[in-house]
Structure formats: C-alpha cells, structure tokens
Amino acid sequence: MAQKEIAPGARVQLAVVEEVLNLCRANSLWPMTFGLACCAIEMMAAGASRFDLDRFGAGVFRPSPRQSDLMIVAGTISKKMAPTIVTLWEQMPAPKWCIAMGNCAISGGPFEYDGQYAIVPGAELIVPVDVYVPGCPPRPEGLIQGFLALEDLITKGEKRNVLRRFKRKIVKGR
C-alpha cells in the first residue's frame, strides 16, 4: 500500500497545537481531593487563602478522580490503602500526573525500618510519580515548588511557560 503523503508544514502545526495544549494543561491543574496522613494538612494549607494555589492555576481540588488530572500522594501509604490508591489512579483520565509529597510518600519516611510489614515504602511502587517533594512534612511553599516543577515538566521548561515567567512587581512599602 502506498504511503500517505504528509502535507508540508503539517508536523510543525501539530507540534504548535501540542505546545499550546501543554501550556493550558500546566496552568490549569485539577488536583484530586485526597489525603493519607499528616502531609495532607500541609496540602490543605497550600490550597487555603494564605498560600493560595489558585495563583498557579491549581486551586480547583476535585472530589472525583474522574474530574482530576493530578494525584498528590500526601502521607503514609499503608498496604491496606494501596489498592484503593491504584484504583483512584486508574479512574483518572489521561493525561495525568502524580506528586509524591513528603518522606512517607517518597520512601516510607519514619515508618520504613527492618521488619515493618504495614507500609508501602514509596508511592512509585504503585503509581508513576512525576515530582517528589521532600520533607516531614514539607511546608506549603515546598508543595508550591513541586507544582512549579510539574508545570515546567508539562511545558518542557520554564521558558516555554509564559505564565510561569510572569513576575509580580514588588511595590515598595507593602
């Protein structure tokens, strides 16, 4: 069968559309309302008025995995809870991303020791993790840094993320 000819410039145009889509995706993340342990309290603080995740287009926490494109694994993953986390991840539509927040989600944290039998030592063992935010717990600023890293990952760099490059003017005396 003869191969279909590609119109000149078609690839370039699609690449531009993909870049624009990625820019939109990066700046309108919808995290799932979902927490596992103490780190979730810091995640809630990051979404509240003092830190205000809406400044980064990520303040719309959704109550359903079917409406979310970001899973923040915030807290200790017990082996009992792990299958539920996998189910939630599978219910999220693609494209989707995952942030492992805190030492427990990264590696089991203080609960990982010889002989322990109840904890999964790291979210990456059950779901694909894109960004790791260390700390026990990480402060809301740490999670915001994680959001910025994820936005850069989706747009393939800070320079391509025009909204990320926007810098606020600091007004003297405030």
List strands edge to edge, sheet with 70-74: 70-74, 97-101, 131-133
Q: Assess 103 for contact with ligand SF4 (CB under 6 A).
A: yes
Using rule CB under 6 A, residue 65 touches ligand SF4 = no
Nearest 5 degrees, angle CA 166-CA 173-CA 49?
55
Q: Please report whether residue 161 would count as binding ligand SF4 according to CB under 6 A.
A: no
Which is nearest to 149 in space by CA: 67, 29, 50?
A: 29
Tallying the residues shown for the chain, one arrives at 174
Distance between CA 20 and CA 29 in Å, rounded? 15
Q: Is 136 in the site for ligand SF4 (CB under 6 A)?
A: yes
Asked if 71 touches ligand SF4 (CB under 6 A), the answer is: no
Which string of x and - marks every residue 83-102 that binds ligand SF4 (by CB under 6 A)? Answer: -------------------x
Regarding 38 and contact with ligand SF4 (CB under 6 A), the answer is yes
Torsional sign, CA 110, 112, 117, 122: positive
Give the shortest CB-75-to-ligand SF4 separation in angstroms: 4
Of the residues 23, 37, 43, 77, which one makes contact with ligand SF4 according to CB under 6 A = 37
Q: Which residues bind ligand SF4 (CB under 6 A)?
A: 37-39, 75-76, 102-104, 109-110, 136-137
